[in-house]
Amino acid sequence: MAELAELVGVLKAAGEGTRLRLLALLAGGDHSVKDLTEILDQSQPRVSRHLKLLADAGLVQRNAEGAWAYYGLAQDGEAGAVAQWLVGRVDHTDPERVRDCERQAEVRAAQQAQAAHYFAKVAGSWDLLKTLHVPEDAVESAVLGGFQGGPVELLLDLGTGTGRMLQLLADRYKRGIGVDSSREMLSVARARLGSAGVTHAQVRLGDMAELDPALGPADAIVIHQVLHYFDDPGRMLMGARELLKPGGQMVIVDFAPHELEFLRTEHAHRRLGLSQAQMSGWAASAGLQVQTVREFPSDNGDRGLTVCLWRLCA
């Protein structure tokens, strides 16, 4: 139980209109300060001040990533329980709340459009671009190693890009489906799968932020170099979990935390890597358990990126 003074402090932090609006927004996923200023139509200093009060009280969590910081609703502790309780009692038909949700949707749509524009430009050279940043051979060997035993019935490759994972794992599944939001990427994927003779896999256009439940249930899911394009990877992971069978497995490949801001400004990255603690928290919230973690330091020393592979199970 929380001490009286601590609980009073938590209630004072939450007991203000803008801060309650912020809690309700963050219940729907992580956001940067920039996102929240656009949604609330308030100044950056004002929003930052409110977020600091909420963070100091333990109602929200702050994760710094280079020059940016992302905020999310606290999931643990007494303050987290208070935050969840308050958000659960917000009237979602309130006009101000409705406007916030509409602006939140607009901000997310703009971010997805920005990423789609980037993918359209680089679709033809995507695999070459990846090799500039990651030790691809070692990572692919580890991905293969994560799928031992007989072929799975259905494998989903979320954010399939050029279909490389569907091609790599072709003998590990009986049926494969790749999903991507870029038509240009899917055109490349179809051509490459056809050239490789992979006839038991197909690719589909889909919204990665709102995955179609009809895609599942899958025995295995691969999410390869995708989550860093999302402001809220935990939300995307939650959606992927709903497509996974009980006892199914999920393999995630992404960057470890880094400071390369140019990947955000020039290559549409939203998150500068994912930490072990973040992944464990997101996995737990989605009802998944991290079984193994492997790290692959960059073989391109001047860029200094490390790739992580997480194997999760339901």
Other CB atoms within a 10 A radius of the CB of residue 50 amount to 22
CB of 259 closer than 8 Å to CB of 95: no
For 276, the enclosing helix (H) or strand (E) is helix 276-285
pTM summary value: 0.67
Burial 131-149, CB ≥16 within 10 A → b, else e? eebbbbeebbebbeebbee
Which pLDDT score is estimated for 107? 83
Nearest residue to 177 (alpha-carbon basis) of 233, 123, 219: 219
Give the whole-angstrom CA distance, residue 28 versus residue 139: 32
What domains does the chain contain, in order, with CATH numbers? 4-90 (1.10.10.10), 123-313 (3.40.50.150)
Give the whole-angstrom CA distance, residue 285 versus residue 250: 15
Average confidence (pLDDT) over 266-273: 80
Q: Take residue 261 and report the two structure tokens written for it.
A: 């801001």
Average confidence (pLDDT) over 242-261: 90
Average confidence (pLDDT) over 52-68: 82
Report the SS3 class of residue 242: coil
Give the residue, 105 or 241, on which the prediction is more confident: 241
Other CB atoms within a 10 A radius of the CB of residue 249 amount to 21
DSSP assignment of 202-223 equals EEEE--TTS--GGG--EEEEEE
Which pLDDT score is estimated for 120? 67
Give the residue, 29 or 158, on which the prediction is more confident: 158
pLDDT in tens, 224-234: 988 988 888 88
Average confidence (pLDDT) over 72-90: 84
Nearest residue to 156 (alpha-carbon basis) of 214, 89, 88, 223: 223
Work out the pLDDT band at 128, boundaries 50, 70, 90: very low
pLDDT at 65 over 80: no
